[in-house]
């Protein structure tokens, strides 16, 4: 007893409110230590962090693997790709010298025309069709730009 007043020390193990206060005080001390915020003054002096969006390059819409980057020299190869990477259907890729050809026709067991859908893979025009290459059969004729190519087997990838 000190001066007629008895001081009773709270017991955290039996006083839930005291346990909560001590826990909060401990957490605040840990937070301050991890942020180097020992005092309110140092908290006010701490740099303000503003979240920002990372800068990124624009991404072309829906670009399949059969439309690679155009870094290389123009290619003069004709490619019959019976199953495209992006759609699973036929894509015909003409030589770069025929990039101005707007439409080609595929004639085999069925006939279909397609307009140019993209330029890629060595600056070559791409023409996409509604079915896989196997649906056009054998000895398929492709005409466009005043040229004709014949693909012996529509289900096989062919480069001419």
Rounded average pLDDT over 18-44: 63
pTM over 0.75: no
Do 32 and 89 share a domain, yes or no?
no
If pLDDT is split at 50, 70 and 90, which confidence band does 157 have? very high
Phi/psi for 67 (5° steps) reads -125, 80
Phi-psi region of 53 (alpha: psi -120 to 50; beta: other; left: phi over 0): beta
Helix (H), strand (E) at residue 16: helix 16-34
Instruction: Report the SS3 class of residue 5.
Output: strand
Among 51-55, 91-95, 151-155, whose mean pLDDT is lowest? 51-55
Do 24 and 92 share a domain, yes or no?
no
Which range of residues forms the domain containing residue 134? 79-159
Q: Look at residue 116 and tell me if it is in a domain.
A: yes
Q: Look at residue 58 and tell me if it is in a domain.
A: no
Query: For residue 2, what are the CA distances in angstroms to 6, 10, 11, 77?
Result: 6, 17, 20, 101
Q: Look at residue 52 and tell me if it is in a domain.
A: no
């Amino acid at each position: 007893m000190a001066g007629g007043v008895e001081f009773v020390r709270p017991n955290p193990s039996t006083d839930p409110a005291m346990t909560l206060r001590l826990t909060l005080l401990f957490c605040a001390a840990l937070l301050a230590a991890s942020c180097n915020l020992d005092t309110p003054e140092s908290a006010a002096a701490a740099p303000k962090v503003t979240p920002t969006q990372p800068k990124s390059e624009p991404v072309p819409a829906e670009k399949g693997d059969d439309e690679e980057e155009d870094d290389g020299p123009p290619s003069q190869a004709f490619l019959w790709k019976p199953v495209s990477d992006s759609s699973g259907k036929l894509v015909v890729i003409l030589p770069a010298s025929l990039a101005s050809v707007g439409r080609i026709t595929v004639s085999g067991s069925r006939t279909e025309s397609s307009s140019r859908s993209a330029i890629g893979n060595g600056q070559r025009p791409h023409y996409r069709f509604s079915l896989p290459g196997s649906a056009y059969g054998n000895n398929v004729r492709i005409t466009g730009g005043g040229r004709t190519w014949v693909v012996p087997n529509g289900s096989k990838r062919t480069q001419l």
